Amino acid sequence: MALNSAAKQYLTITLSYWAFTLTDGALRMLVLFFFHGLGYSPIELASLFILYEFFGILTNLYGGWLATRIGLNTSLHIGLALQILALGMLTVDPSMLSLVYVMIAQAISGIAKDLNKMSAKSSIKLLLSDNQQTKLYCWVALLTGSKNSLKGLGFFLGGFLMTTLGFASSLHTLMALLAITLVLSLLFLQPQKTSYKPKFSESLSKSRDINLLSGARFFLFGSRDIWFVIALPVFLQSQLQWTHLQVGSFMACWVIGYGLVQALAPKITSNYQQQTPTGSELTSWVAKLTFIPALIAAGLIYGLDPAIILIAGLLTYGVVFAINSSIHSFLIVAFSKRDSVSTDVGFYYMANAAGRLSGTLLSGLIYQQQGLVACLAVSSAMVIISTILSAKISR
């Protein structure tokens, strides 16, 4: 009966996380398409997401401390409410949508996103006992993978809504979906609190493995976003003449497939001796990722068909990156202490947000100055650093 109750809570958390992720992916596409249509340069587009990622860093660092004190489910609900607010801010008259105003709205969205993610992933640790590591790996992988598949659907939804409803009406639709989710979550989620009440100064991790894993995460996700967030969609639109719907659909399919691989990672990485991954297995998988961006860049340099190169390269990259991400997501929950899981997970995702911020800024800057090939070259260099840090994690 206890497991059945835990499964019900897991399902409710997952459904809330899905709804949030769907709207977050759609919002990113809406903002990108709307302001690219207004003539914003790649650097200006990247700047729209600066505060989104920056406040994600602060939220992960101190949101874990807050969640430990007020309860993980309460922090999840706050995240949903803040996302509704961020969407509402963008529904004003277009003349009010200045760069600074949109950056502030994106900052609120960034806080909402990381409160929601930290709360959802931390909650799983409290639903299972310490001797259920294999089930923990499967649940974390399923939550992470399904979330990214829904994010991919969000990219498609954003392109579809922008094409059919326009900017403001699309935002109203997303707000309605989140409002329904918030009400259902308030009705069905049970409170989750720990007896441990950390001091504000204890937000930083004291664990060597968590610190190394966080550093590896920083460079891993920075290596992805340095070419995937700004450079790739702008390249597809400006160089290959793809439409909004084509770009949104392509990125959606990629992220959906990426999420499916993440969810299947426990089956891909398990073997007869070891059912859960270790630091050495993480090192092996991240090393496999090193040369993929460089090979894509080489194909573009040598004049091969860019559409074929990018599609084939992204498929390969997506599979390997998804397995890396899933192993990462399990290890941080496994390494975290039960009483301080939200602070440990929050610190780790602070590094994730910092990596995404660095990648987003570099994506706009390097693409505008040097192009997509340079973004891919720097991506490979960041993966190498992630591999070195991963190799130092406990076996």
**What is the SS3 assignment for 192?**
coil
Res 65 pLDDT > 70: no
pLDDT of residue 193: 55
In this structure, is residue 198 part of a structural domain?
no
Would you say the pTM of this structure is higher than 0.75? no
Within a domain: 199: no
Least confident interval from 214-228, 259-273, 349-363: 259-273
What pLDDT, on a 0 to 100 scale, did the predictor assign at position 2?
46
Q: Which two tokens stand for residue 152?
A: 């991919």
CA distances from 309 to 20, 33, 304, 364 (A): 33, 24, 7, 21
Domain extent, residue 331, equals 2-189+206-390
DSSP state of 317: H
Determine, yes or no, domain membership for 200: no
Domain assignment present for 144? yes
Amino acid (1-letter code) at residue 107: A
Task: Tell me whether residue 20 is in a domain.
Answer: yes
Per-residue pLDDT averaged across 85-92, rounded?
90
Q: What would you report as the CA-atom Rg of the chain, rounded to the nearest whole angstrom?
A: 20
Query: Is the model's pLDDT at 192 over the cut of 60?
Result: no
User: What is the number of structural domains in the chain?
Assistant: 1
Rounded mean pLDDT, 238-243: 83
Contact at 8 Å (CB) between 149 and 256?
yes
Distance CA 339, CA 196 (A): 6
Output the domain CATH number for residue 77. 1.20.1250.20
Exposure of 238 by Cβ count < 10 A (0-12 exposed, 13-18 middle, 19+ buried)?
Answer: exposed
- State the first-to-last Cα distance of the chain, in angstroms, to the nearest integer: 35
Residue 196 lies in a domain: no
Helix (H, G, I), strand (E, B) or coil at 93: coil
For residue 195, tell me if it sits in a domain: no
Residue 201: inside a domain = no
Confidence (pLDDT) at 275: 64
